[in-house]
Amino acid sequence: MKITASGALPPIIVLLASLSVHARDITLTEALLSTLQNQPEVRVAQATVREDKGVLRQAQGAFDWTPELNTVVRTDREPGVTGNNSLDFDKTRTVQTSIGATKRFRTGISVSPEISLIRTDENKFYDPVTQSGISFSMVIPLLKGAGKVSASADERAARKNLRATGEAQVHRINRLLFETVSAYWQVRGSWRLLQVAESGLARAKQAENIVGALTVGGQFAPGSHQRTLAELNLQEIAVDRRRQLTQSAGQTLIDAIGISEEHQALRTVTPLPDPTAPRFDPVLSDGDLVNLALARRRDLAAARHSLDAHEILVARFRHDTKPRLDLSLGLDYQGIRANTHAPLGSLQTLRRDLSGPDYTVGLTLELPLGKNVAKGRLQEQRAKAQMAELEIRRLESAIRTGVRDVAGRIGSIRQRYRMAEKTVELYESVYQDTREQVIRGEANINQLVDIGDKLTEALLRRTQAATDFAVALAELRFVTGTGTALAHDAEPDSGSVEFALNDFMNLPEPDF
């Protein structure tokens, strides 16, 4: 599985990309590259694809030519009469050499050609004798094991399983990328929220300074100053909590991008996308997004390939319930020659035909009575195919629900952001006016504190809405399966894909 990344520049191989994990600042692109480069689950996904490629090669090996070379030397002794009429043993030495091959085709037919040489030396004859032969045999299945539906089922199922594994692992990596994007935006949002909380703390300190000065001047009672100090303490507690949340979000990002724990000083620098930007105006309806997801989701494609593999094996095991009836055909040609001096005999013996070619025709019938093994395999495989079909239906239903939920959430978040932005503008103006009124003694300090709290709350809501929008935008890419694309000129079962890094910051486009 080759993984590439594409953005403004041409696709680059991620394994060649370099990222300094010691850098304090990290962009979204660097975070995604680090995930692909350092996340152990990416290596697990690649290893899983290689494992299934090995299974496919094993299945393909059943159709390889298998050559065989045999050499046998044999010495026989039997009683005989020597030249002086005394009993002795006649010795016969035989050297037999044969070379052949076996080949099984995807139609179920198997062939076995062979050439053999036999040299015989007997002490009662002066000249050695060489016998040679050429044979060709063929086995043709007529029922069980006949045709591609049975003979090549394991190979075709392994190829489908490889494609299923490749698609599933691409979806797995796509999920890792989404988790990285989500963690990145959470860190970015946490920093922004911390800044908002600190600005609220600064406003509380300003109010405390004003109240303190007015209390010293006798314009306010000491109780007003104490209340302001209490509000200041609450703001400090809120800031401390935001710091803890920011640290926790940073640890989540570190885990997502797969770097060691010693490099924790990361600061996200890619700005959050603006929810009010025109490019986020809906182009596709919810129905179009659902159709796009059903066509592009890698896990759904993997489930479909898995179902195809199960159906291939169902057809094979159904075919295997038939009895076995094989037709065997053979053709032999032999020759013989005396007084050959080659140590292993000579092929010149083929020029002398002893009795012409020999023909062999045979039928082999294998008729299991119970067929329990074949029927059991068929029943098991049918159940697996049914479960795979149900898994496809479950995924399709979950995809429809998930896409509509995220699409609706994006629209709701944009509206929430607009309202929060307007609220911030109003409270900023009111806060400045009230602050001036307090200084002139025309307004109560409590009003300034309350408006400052509401301004901080509005700023927090706006920042949280921007963070939620960025995460939902990446999630929409994930649930529609549009965060990845098949690499250029890549085979469907190669697992080679390109990840367009900037796609996680844009709405899905129509798939024409």
120-150, pLDDT tens digit by residue?
776 555 467 777 788 899 999 999 888 888 8
Q: Say yes or no: 424 and 474 in one domain.
A: yes
| pLDDT of 450 | 85
**Domain region containing 237:** 3-38+155-259+280-310+381-505
| pLDDT of 470 | 95
Stronger pLDDT, 167 or 219, i.e. the higher one: 167
Q: Are 374 and 317 in contact (CB under 8 A)?
A: yes
Strand partners, 326: 141, 364
Stronger pLDDT, 56 or 352, i.e. the higher one: 56
pLDDT digits (tens, 9 = 90+) for 450-503: 888 899 899 999 999 999 999 999 999 999 998 765 544 445 555 555 666 667
Residue 43 lies in a domain: no
Residue 480 lies in a domain: yes
Q: Kindly report the backbone phi and psi dihedral angles of residue 281, in degrees, each rounded to the nearest multiple of 5, phi listed first.
A: -65, 135
Separation CA 191–CA 248 (nearest Å):
11
How would residue 20 be classed by pLDDT, with cut points 50, 70 and 90? very low
pTM of the predicted model as reported, rounded to 2 decimal places: 0.80
pLDDT digits (tens, 9 = 90+) for 425-442: 999 999 889 888 877 777
| pLDDT of 339 | 54
Cβ neighbours for 213, distance < 8 A, ≥ 6 positions apart: none
Question: Which of these, 109, 133, 71, lies nearest to 349 by C-alpha position?
Answer: 133
Question: Which of these, 103, 114, 115, lies nearest to 139 by C-alpha position?
Answer: 103
Q: Hey, what are 372's tokens? A: 């329990």
For residue 84, give the amino acid letter: N
| pLDDT of 488 | 45
Q: Say yes or no: 17 and 69 in one domain.
A: no
| pLDDT of 337 | 60
Q: Say yes or no: 89 and 217 in one domain.
A: no
Q: Are 297 and 290 in contact (CB under 8 A)?
A: no
**Region 275-299: what's the mean pLDDT?**
93
| pLDDT of 15 | 30
| pLDDT of 12 | 28
Stronger pLDDT, 462 or 206, i.e. the higher one: 462
Sheet of strand 129-141: strand arrangement? 66-81, 87-104, 110-122, 129-141, 324-338, 358-366
Average pLDDT, the chain: 82
Residue 275 lies in a domain: no
| pLDDT of 345 | 46
Q: Say yes or no: 408 and 388 in one domain.
A: yes
Q: Say yes or no: 498 and 363 in one domain.
A: no
Residue 372 lies in a domain: no
Q: Are 330 and 136 in contact (CB under 8 A)?
A: yes
Q: Say yes or no: 227 and 351 in one domain.
A: no
Q: Kindly report the backbone phi and psi dihedral angles of residue 497, in degrees, each rounded to the nearest multiple of 5, phi listed first.
A: -135, 160
pLDDT digits (tens, 9 = 90+) for 371-394: 888 899 999 999 999 999 999 999
| pLDDT of 352 | 54
Q: Say yes or no: 397 and 361 in one domain.
A: no
Q: Say yes or no: 455 and 498 in one domain.
A: yes
331: helix, coil or strand?
A: strand
How would residue 66 be classed by pLDDT, with cut points 50, 70 and 90? very high
Residue 9: is its pLDDT beyond 50? no
**Region 291-319: what's the mean pLDDT?**
94
Q: Are 132 and 114 in contact (CB under 8 A)?
A: no
| Vertex 325: Cα angle to 323 and 326 (nearest 5) | 145
Strand partners, 77: 91
Residue 82: is its pLDDT beyond 70? no
Q: Say yes or no: 21 and 162 in one domain.
A: yes
Q: What is the share, in percent, of the chain residues with pLDDT greater than 90?
A: 43
Question: Which of these, 478, 493, 495, 481, lies nearest to 3 by C-alpha position?
Answer: 495
CA 2 to chain centre: 11
| pLDDT of 217 | 67
Stronger pLDDT, 370 or 365, i.e. the higher one: 365
| pLDDT of 77 | 74
Q: Hey, what are 399's tokens? A: 């995809």
Residue 56 lies in a domain: no
The top-scoring range by mean pLDDT among 145-159, 350-364, 493-507 is: 145-159
Lowest-pLDDT range, 69-78, 99-108, 110-119, 250-259? Answer: 69-78
Residue 493 lies in a domain: yes
484-486 and 3-6 beta bridge pairing = unpaired
Residue 9: exposure state from Cβ atoms within 10 A (0-12, 13-18, ≥19): exposed
**Domain with 219 in it: what CATH number?**
1.20.1600.10
How would residue 190 be classed by pLDDT, with cut points 50, 70 and 90? very high
Number of domains in the chain: 2
pLDDT digits (tens, 9 = 90+) for 26-45: 889 889 888 888 999 988 98
Q: Say yes or no: 68 and 34 in one domain.
A: no
Q: Say yes or no: 251 and 348 in one domain.
A: no
Task: Pinpoint the alpha helices (H) of 136-152.
Answer: 148-151
Residue 344 lies in a domain: yes
Residue 315 lies in a domain: no
Separation CA 199–CA 458 (nearest Å):
12
Residue 10: is its pLDDT beyond 60? no
Residue 90: is its pLDDT beyond 80? no
How would residue 287 be classed by pLDDT, with cut points 50, 70 and 90? very high
**Region 321-330: what's the mean pLDDT?**
91
Q: What number of helices (H) and strands (E) belong to the chain? A: 9, 12
Lowest-pLDDT range, 90-99, 131-140, 304-313? Answer: 90-99
Q: Say yes or no: 66 and 215 in one domain.
A: no
Separation CA 252–CA 189 (nearest Å):
13
